[in-house]
């Protein structure tokens, strides 16, 4: 990875999340993670679009890992007595609404940036949650997430080589996802108790996450200078160019591939909309007495 664990770590100063005192918060948090892992079904879309066999093999393995992560979170939630519930709209926007329209967008925005952000949140939970069985499960999952982020970084570097227009488009789209993170920080600042030892630090944690996102963009080569050297007008132009390009791309596909993108066709509901009613998820919802991480297959 282009950023180290140390660089991505936010110092919570030893503050801890308590499984009993903080159950409500943990339930909210793990439900966001659960949703994120269910969006792993989108890997199937990209497997069909993989540029070479190496990438296809990586994605096939990743899809399996993401589905295992769904079970990891269900297991953690069961141990902590948390119920599966819908994710916050900003999280749904970041994880599904920002789904890439091309291979380059997928590897840059969803893998390098998106999974990079999630990885940072996993590190934060590992560093603060006072519940060893959950931490043990998470420690194994982060090793896989680190590989997903690294793949995203490397594939983005390959994709932008010699294509300055693509670099600008990815930067414009990244600015939007960073705006999404700031919106999430704003929501937390208003709704969460500032006196809580960990929660009070979350807005600063999200600022740190955005700084890491900027650093990652610079190391990949998408961003060629510090973000604060880009004027508001330049940023707006980059976002407009990126979305203009997306809209034109969409128009071209409608003309050339009518059957694939016909917008009038009834839309099938995907697992990201139905997973909370899925028997696999509802079957997990009731805590099994005395279950521990050692019962994991």
Binding interface with Fe ion (CB under 5 A): 37, 66, 69, 115, 145, 148
Q: How far is the CB of 191 from Fe ion (least distance, A)?
A: 26
Q: Name, in order, each residue with C-beta under 8 angstroms of 29's C-beta and a sequence gap of 6 or more.
A: 125
Q: Which residue has tokens 């096939």?
A: 60
Cβ closest to Fe ion, residue 95 vs residue 238: 95
Cβ closest to Fe ion, residue 106 vs residue 148: 148
Residues 70/37, Cβ–Cβ less than 8 Å = yes
* Greatest CA separation for the chain: 58
Cβ closest to Fe ion, residue 15 vs residue 144: 144
Q: How far is the CB of 238 from Fe ion (least distance, A)?
A: 27
Q: How far is the CB of 194 from Fe ion (least distance, A)?
A: 30
Cβ closest to Fe ion, residue 108 vs residue 227: 108
Q: How far is the CB of 247 from Fe ion (least distance, A)?
A: 29
Angle ∠(196,145,214) on CA atoms, nearest 5: 70
| Closest to 80 (Cα-Cα) out of 291, 297, 294 | 291
Helices marked H in the chain — which ranges? 5-8, 23-38, 43-47, 53-80, 89-92, 103-105, 116-128, 132-160, 164-191, 202-220, 232-256, 258-261, 271-274, 279-284
Provide the token pair at 91.
Answer: 């999280």
Q: How far is the CB of 20 from Fe ion (least distance, A)?
A: 27
Cβ closest to Fe ion, residue 43 vs residue 166: 43
Q: Name, in order, each residue with C-beta under 8 angstroms of 261's C-beta and a sequence gap of 6 or more.
A: 250, 253, 254
Q: Which residues pair with 9 in a beta bridge?
A: none
Q: How far is the CB of 89 from Fe ion (least distance, A)?
A: 21
Q: How far is the CB of 32 from Fe ion (least distance, A)?
A: 12
Q: How far is the CB of 240 from Fe ion (least distance, A)?
A: 30
Q: What is the C-alpha to C-alpha distance for residues 213 and 120, in angstroms, rounded to an integer? A: 10
Cβ closest to Fe ion, residue 39 vs residue 128: 39
Cβ closest to Fe ion, residue 66 vs residue 105: 66
Q: What is the C-alpha to C-alpha distance for residues 85 and 70, in angstroms, rounded to an integer? A: 14
Q: Which residue has tokens 């650093």?
A: 215
Provide the token pair at 242.
Answer: 């990126």
Q: Name, in order, each residue with C-beta under 8 angstroms of 137's C-beta and a sequence gap of 6 or more.
A: 72, 75, 76, 293, 296
Cβ closest to Fe ion, residue 137 vs residue 176: 137
């Amino acid at each position: 990875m282009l950023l180290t664990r140390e660089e991505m770590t936010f110092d919570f100063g030893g503050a801890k999340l308590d499984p009993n005192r903080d159950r409500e918060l943990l339930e909210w948090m793990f439900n966001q993670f659960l949703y994120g892992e269910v969006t792993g079904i989108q890997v199937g879309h990209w497997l069909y679009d993989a540029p070479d066999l190496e990438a296809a093999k990586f994605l096939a393995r990743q899809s399996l890992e993401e589905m295992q992560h769904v079970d990891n979170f269900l297991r953690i939630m069961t141990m902590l007595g948390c119920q599966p519930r819908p994710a916050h709209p900003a999280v749904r926007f970041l994880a599904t609404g920002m789904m890439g329209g091309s291979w380059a967008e997928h590897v840059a925005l969803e893998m390098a940036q998106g999974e990079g952000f999630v990885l940072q949140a996993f590190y934060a939970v590992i560093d603060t949650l006072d519940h060893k069985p959950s931490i043990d499960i998470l420690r194994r999952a982060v090793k896989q997430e680190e590989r997903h982020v690294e793949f995203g970084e490397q594939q983005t570097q390959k994709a932008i080589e010699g294509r300055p227009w693509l670099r600008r488009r990815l930067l414009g789209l990244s600015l939007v996802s960073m705006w999404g993170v700031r919106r999430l920080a704003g929501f937390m600042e208003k709704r969460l108790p500032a006196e809580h030892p960990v929660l009070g630090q979350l807005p600063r944690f999200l600022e740190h996450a955005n700084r890491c996102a900027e650093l990652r963009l610079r190391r990949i080569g998408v961003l060629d200078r510090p973000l604060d050297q880009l004027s508001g007008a330049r940023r707006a132009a980059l976002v407009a160019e990126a979305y203009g390009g997306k809209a034109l791309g969409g128009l071209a596909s409608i003309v050339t591939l009518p059957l694939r993108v016909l917008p009038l066709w009834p839309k099938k509901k995907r697992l990201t909309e139905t997973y909370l009613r899925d028997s696999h998820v509802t079957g997990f919802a009731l805590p099994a007495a005395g279950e521990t991480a050692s019962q994991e297959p």
